[in-house]
Amino acid sequence: MKRVLSVLVSLLAALVPAVAAPAAHADPARAHVCDSEGLRGPDAPPAGAVVVPAGRLDGSDLETPGATYWFAPGVHTLAPGEYSQLAPAEGATFVGAPGAVLDGNHDNRYAFTGRAKNVTIRHLTITGFAAPRDEGVVNHDSGDGWVVEHNTLTGNDGAALMAGAANRITGNCLRDNGQYGLNAYQAGNGIRQLLVEGNEFTGNNTADWESKVEGCGCTGAMKFWAVDGADVRGNWIHDNRGPGLWADTNNNNFLVEDNVIENNDDVGIFYEISYNAAIRGNELRRNGWVAGRRAVEKGDPFPVGAIYLSEAGGDARVPARFAKLEVSGNRLEDNWDGIVGWANADRFCNSPASTTSDCTRLVGPSNTSRCAAPGIASAPLYRDCRWWTSEVDIHDNVFTFHPATVGCSARCGRMALFANVGTVPSWSPYQGDVIQRDIVHTAGNRWHDNSYAGPWQFTVVDMATTVPAATWTGPVYGQDSGSTFAS
């Protein structure tokens, strides 16, 4: 009898189509880098390396192209003076033994400078350098082709690390630096082909620059300016005083993937006045609590998103791997707010609300003085003289929100898609509700097939309008088709 039942079950299984189980979300692994064995350098000099004993360095002895320098265990220092620094030659490699420390004694500004290409820095602890705000300690001049891996960059002022084109920044601990862990900026044409992978960014912005220069937009674990082609993946970005990852001004072609971004005071991922990106497979937890509470105390209703998209979106005219701004497969849990899509109607070329002289240089006219009346009111300048929050595709994400965990009762737990009323300047063609109508109804911004748990609300059109899920998904706004909602 048992054999007969077994045969029948097998026959039925063959006749009934199999139903695939839902794919499990693979949690990204935290990159536990700081204080790990992966930072430990070789106990003996690599073959052919020049041994650099601990003590005072003579930088002129470390300038041979293509040479490898092995820093022996102990503390290495530069000559006194703020401009004492190491200027590597092209192709040079600097490797630290276990316990090798390069210390700026809070006197020297910079550790490694110059525009030599293809420099490699591995297994060093670099600390105590006093770079000014917006300047960096390692790769100060944004040299191309640098490899910076398995180092500890900690306790420096300014940015611990700058970046240039085709840089590989992997497996580092960037901890407790005064401003940024990484400041990816290069004057001129900007940076291409940047890899930031498997690093730990924690405790950065110890100087709390936003409190010193309100509205400076100059803080975070890492910031990117005019970078075309960046892969930021597998990093652990946590407990920073400010945003986690911030891409600001004419960035393009970003892949932000499989990062764990948690417990940062402000926004987890901030993509601003930039183009074409994929933000996928990331874990974002408990971001924005400090900034959110501060906003409530000040009476500021502006959302503090875990992911904040400000005048950023897809534009197929800008060559990239992605023709839109796609946010997919992420898991957001107990952040102050969710995903915020925002457009400042007054922010465009030659407007007093624009904060950059670069303007829309990836799509706009080379002579931005043309972005003025009367030409800006007509095509192509009407579109090309401003950044648009457009072609944003948000799908297959999991959003979880527990107000008791976050510790908030109002102005939190929101998704948002909104703009302000355009007011200035007097010749602006974007006055009134032009941008509000565009961002909500005509710009191709779409939420769909997401999973919600918790009392989510939706700020839409303007900051004063917050609606429940039934209105957000209804005929007026038509968002989140195929999504599920659980209380």
pLDDT for the residue 214: 87
Model confidence at 20: pLDDT above 50: no
299: nearest Cα among 463, 465, 466, 456: 463
The structure tokens listed for 268 are 């987890």
Per-residue pLDDT tens over the stretch 31-81:
999 999 999 999 999 999 999 999 999 888 899 999 999 999 999 999 999
> From CA 259, how far away is CA 234, in angstroms rounded?
5
392: nearest Cα among 448, 454, 334, 319: 448
pLDDT for the residue 152: 99
Backbone angles phi, psi at 2, to 5 degrees: -60, -40
Name the DSSP class of 142: -
> From CA 197, how far away is CA 183, in angstroms rounded?
15
> From CA 411, how far away is CA 253, in angstroms rounded?
33
> Does a cis peptide bond (omega within 30 degrees of 0) precede residue 374?
yes
Model confidence at 10: pLDDT above 50: no
Mean of pLDDT values over 76-88: 97
Cβ neighbours of residue 405 closer than 8 Å, sequence gap 6 or more: 334
> From CA 473, how far away is CA 317, in angstroms rounded?
31
Burial class (CB in 10 A: 0-12, 13-18, 19+), 361: middle
| Residue type, position 157, single letter | D
294 near 284, Cβ under 8 Å?
A: no
Mean of pLDDT values over 425-447: 98
pLDDT for the residue 59: 86
pLDDT for the residue 358: 82
Using DSSP bridges, classify how beta strands 451-453 and 260-262 pair: parallel, antiparallel or unpaired.
Answer: unpaired
- Sign of the torsion formed by the C-alpha atoms of 419, 424, 430 and 433: positive
pLDDT for the residue 26: 59
> From CA 307, how far away is CA 283, in angstroms rounded?
11
Task: Give the start-end residues of each E strand in 251-333.
Answer: 252-257, 260-262, 269-272, 277-280, 283-285, 305-310, 325-328, 331-333
- Sign of the torsion formed by the C-alpha atoms of 449, 454, 458 and 463: negative
- Sign of the torsion formed by the C-alpha atoms of 197, 201, 204 and 209: positive
Q: Name the residue with higher pLDDT: 26 or 95.
A: 95
Looking at the domain that runs over 82-486, which CATH code has it been given? 2.160.20
255 near 281, Cβ under 8 Å?
A: no
Model confidence at 3: pLDDT above 70: no
Mean of pLDDT values over 454-458: 98
Radius of gyration of the chain (CA): 25
Backbone angles phi, psi at 296, to 5 degrees: -65, -45
Name the DSSP class of 99: T
Name the DSSP class of 21: P
